[in-house]
Structure 1
Amino acid sequence: MSIAPSRRMWPMYSDWQAEAKKRIASLMADVPHDADWKARQTILRDAAHGFHGGTSWGKRVWAKHCKVYLASHGKPQPLKEVPLFAADITFPFRKDQR
């Protein structure tokens, strides 16, 4: 009785970082230079599952490289001016409060 080799349903790369860069470059090769970041983001999101196949590491790598790519093409960075805690939350162990 022979055991059939398992078929992987997701891509497996030895170097996810390099593969993400190559895949983004190949996807964006046909995109016009005057395309805005929203059009580029749509293309990247449509191709995401083909790259990571649902793996957590692949999702992280893809998101990281897409963020860098889109920032270089004009996507604004989110503002981080929201306070971490509301003003009415106090920490009794801190001496610099009320």
Structure 2
Amino acid sequence: MSPQRLFLLALLLYIAWRLLRSLIRDTITQKAKDQLRKESEQADKTTVQDILVEDPVCRTLIPKHQAVRLRQDGKTYYFCSDSCCDQFTGEPGGKE
């Protein structure tokens, strides 16, 4: 075999190896992206939206995570502010 043919064969093998390596890398990268997308979609589906609760004093609707909480007689009450909570506890029966 002549040196030119050996060089050409080596060049072709090198190009084929690079293409194959690139395809494998792209396939692995695409699978990883698909997995991340699936995990993101599942996380979006399982994310619970915040619930609105009503203040028993002023009847204002507020997000549960922002409300002032008061646990009394085994029941949890949610208030829009400390002043509504104080007003509720100042009245023995309180409004529900």
TM-score range, shorter chain: under 0.3
- Please tell me whether Structure 1 or Structure 2 has the larger radius of gyration of its CA atoms: 2
TM-score, normalising length: structure 1: 0.21
Higher helix share: 2
Structure with larger RCO (C-alpha < 8 A, sep 6+): 1
TM-score, normalising length: structure 2: 0.22
